[in-house]
Amino acid sequence: MNMRFLFLLMGMLALSGLALGQNFDKFVAKGSAHYSRGEINQSLAAFKEAEKLEPGNVELNLHMGKAYLLSDYKHKSLEYLVKVYKLAPTLEPHIRYMLGLACQYNYMFSDAIEHYEAYAKQAVPNKLDVTLKIRQCQYADEVLQQPVAVDIENLGPTVNSPEHEYSPIITPNQSVLVFTSRRDGSTGGKKTQDNENFEDIYISYRRGDTWTPPKQISKNINFDFHDAAAALTTNGRELYLYIEENGGDLYHSSFNGQEWSKPKALGAPINTPHHETSITVTKDGKRIYFASDRPGGFGNLDIYMSDRQSDGSWGTPVNMGPTVNTSGNEDSPFIHPDGQTLYFSSDGHLGLGGYDVFRSEWTEGGWQKPVNMGYPINTPDDNFHFIMAENRVHGYYTSVQEGGVGKADIYRVTFLDEKMNAILAADRKRREAEGAKKQNLLQQIAQQQQVVVYEGIVRGSDTNKPLQAIITAMHYRTGEVVARTESDAAGNYRLEITEAGDYALSVEAQGYLILSRTLKIPEQSGSLARTVPLALSMKPIQVGISSIMANIFFDFGKASLRTESIGELERIRDFLQNSPKIKIQINGHTDNVGDPTYNKQLSLKRAEAVMNYLLQNGVSASRLTVMGYGQERPIVSNDDEEGGRAMNRRTEIEVVSY
């Protein structure tokens, strides 16, 4: 009887396992089918069901990592791709490229460069060019150290929904906001192929410091398919918009004081059978700038301009040329009321990744080379539809950021330098009228404290799991510890620094090599408080793993240690004393400027200088070796990019025994 029962039980378990396996295969097949049609949301929904059944399946993790890279939550791809690379590094030929992207979206730029460089050396079919991606990571590492003086505010859950909000338009007094949304309740109630709402145009009014609940702007404007706000004239009575017809065209609607008219297509030569996506109009209404992927451009989407003719029609569009347009995409132009400053988004100009916001100024010589608006306005993900108020104190734009209300949110930017200048100007007029001086105000501002808050998550690069770590910031010049904090069990940390200057950041965690970074906080006028996201990725203590010591410095062309290096050297000494079984090799590297033989000798002498300091401070000689590689092992290109050469001039500690 017992044997019979056992036989029946085993049979039931086998059938149950078979059913689970069939369900798993069903969900994976469903997700793959959606993925192949570009229906990323639905593919992830199916893959998540499969994940509940077999979370450790390597191929499923690859599917999910790839899908997340194409989703609105690109940063989530990392945990899946790390598993794939760890368990089956040869399963996907492009895995190092994908890991580079995932690290870049998670602000782990040094790790991203390592993956991109490794990928560039591989022989894989249909290999992608990573040159721009590496330059983006180099650039991002630089600009994160020098954030622009802005305060960025999410407009909150009244304006932003769990879905997408973008393309903000603001009236001159910033009291009326028109924008595009995919929130629930769209006209017609239909869904896209990927189960998202169609775009509609909404309007909201400022009441003090809050915004009224948005309402659809007009039944004459919103249709059953995509329609998006694009531009509003200064008087608020003419609206330019995008409607998804004929491949996507630009339209115009007028307000008669009661209602918006039904949109009329701008027609030829503005609209073509191709894609016209966005438009902006000058303050006097005589010129428009718009984006189009029509043939004859420099890339995919290019920006064009057109002047209004005497009969009211628009003239033949003129491409803005290769200074503004690239081989990539330029979109969402906005011409400032001064008529001489153009803001736009681009994935072709050098940025942090995805679309970045740029600014170009008009001079008598033409449009000048676009300038990146900097961090934290720009992030590794997409940032677009930037508009600037006439007073240049506030800007509004759309950004995809972790921790937002929805998938893409509208943010307001306050430019703090301009804000302080405006305050000073107003105060000066008042005090001059009263016969007083502005000196008292300036002294008050000088006495106010500048606060920069670095925050993020500390993770292990081997597992992508959060780590409890000690984070310390020391002043270069004095060696004084100015801030110290610990990350919590979820890896979250918050580090406050209250003075401008250059700082050495050191991160320590059990079982991991020291993480070394450089922080540069520029002088700013006024009382400033800003937050700088900074993800920290630590390398495990394993033979062959090395870590760059970013805060070891030498005099130019010499092997003599500068005093700013002492704090970093003390950290290495403490690390070795706390981990008595570890033996390290100190590796010296240079850039490619100068004679290769001399560079190799110099790199060896510099490594020896580090070793000698450690020997003099109690570290056993049996635990230390040195190697000078000169210019043989660059981690990034040594081309004329100064940032690239600077990254290649480095000192590393490498684990040789543990």
**pLDDT at position 432, please?**
47
Q: Are 115 and 242 in the same domain?
A: no
Determine the 3-state secondary structure of 418 from DSSP.
helix
**Residue 499 or 322, more confident:** 322
Same domain? For 134 and 69 the reply is yes
Confidence category of residue 195, pLDDT binned at 50, 70, 90? low
Task: Indicate which CATH number applies to the domain containing 467.
Answer: 2.60.40.10
Is the residue at 420 inside a domain? no
pLDDT band of 198, cuts 50, 70, 90: confident
| CA separation for the pair 519, 472 (Å, rounded) | 11
pLDDT at residue 421 greater than cutoff 50: no
162 and 291 together in one domain: yes
Q: Looking at the predicted structure, is the pLDDT value of residue 649 above 80?
A: yes
Q: Are 65 and 98 in contact (CB under 8 A)?
A: yes
pLDDT for residue 419 is more than 80: no
CATH code of residue 620? 3.30.1330.60
519, 598: one domain = no
Of the pLDDT bands very low, low, confident and very high (cuts 50, 70, 90), residue 443 is: very low
Is 259 part of any domain? yes
pLDDT of residue 112: 93
**Backbone phi, then psi, for 516, in 5-degree steps?**
-120, 130
Tens of pLDDT, residues 209-240: 889 999 988 888 876 666 677 788 888 889 99
**Residue 345 pLDDT:** 97
Give the residue-averaged pLDDT of 469-475: 91
Whether 287 is in a domain gets the answer yes
610-646 tens-digit pLDDT: 999 899 888 999 999 999 998 888 776 666 454 556 6
Report the pLDDT averaged over residues 162-188.
Answer: 85
Lowest mean pLDDT among 220-229, 243-252, 442-451: 442-451
The phi and psi torsions of 35 (rounded to 5 degrees) equal: -60, -45
By residue range, what is the domain housing residue 462?
448-540
Among 509, 540, 571, where does a domain finish?
Answer: 540
In this structure, the answer to whether residues 240 and 373 fall within a common structural domain is yes
Number of domains into which the chain is organized: 4
- The pLDDT mean for the chain works out to 85
Give the pLDDT mean for 650-656: 89
Weakest mean pLDDT among 116-125, 278-287, 518-527:
518-527
Per-residue confidence band for 14, with pLDDT thresholds at 50, 70 and 90: low
CA distance 160 to 533: 22
pLDDT at 189: 60
205-238 burial: b if 16+ Cβ within 10 Å, else e: eeeeeebeebeebbeebbbeebbbbbbbbeeeeb
Buried/exposed 285-301: b ≥16 CB within 10 Å, e otherwise = eebbbbbbbbeebbbbb
Domain shared by 37 and 168, yes or no: no
Does residue 389 share a domain with residue 329?
yes
Over residues 352-374, mean pLDDT: 92
Band (444; pLDDT cuts 50, 70, 90) = very low
Let me know whether 534 and 575 are in one domain.
no
Over pLDDT 90: what percentage of the chain? 44
The residue-averaged pLDDT of 72-76 equals: 90
Q: What percent of the chain has pLDDT over 70?
A: 87
Residues 474-505 have pLDDT tens digits of: 887 777 888 999 999 889 999 988 888 889 89
Higher pLDDT, 292 or 18: 292
Q: What is the pLDDT of residue 1?
A: 44
Does residue 528 sit in the same domain as residue 546? no
On whether both 465 and 562 belong to a single domain, the answer is: no
pLDDT tops 90 at residue 289 = yes
The confidence score (pLDDT) of residue 383 equals 94
Encode 110-148: b = buried (16+ Cβ within 10 Å), e = exposed. Answer: bbbbbbbbebbeeeeeeeeebebbbbbbbbbbbbbbebb
In-domain check, residue 427: no
Would residue 421 count as lying in a domain? no
* Residue 559 located in a structural domain: yes
Query: What is the C-alpha to C-alpha distance for residues 96 and 103, in angstroms, rounded to an integer?
Result: 10
Is 8 among the domain residues?
A: no
**Quick check: is 467 in a domain?**
yes
- Domain boundary (490, 516, 540) is at 540
CATH, residue 360: 2.120.10.30
Report the run of H or E that residue 254 belongs to, with start and end.
Answer: strand 249-254
At 524 the pLDDT is 63
Q: What is the pLDDT, as a whole number, of residue 142?
A: 86
Which of 437 and 627 is assigned the larger pLDDT?
627
Domain boundary among 111, 143, 175: 143
What CATH number corresponds to the domain at position 39? Answer: 1.25.40.10
Q: Which phi and psi angles does 280 have, rounded to 5°?
A: -140, 150
- Examine the domain organization and report whether 299 and 384 are in the same domain: yes
Q: Are residues 189 and 334 in the same domain?
A: yes
Residues 6+ apart with CB under 8 A from 286: 307, 308
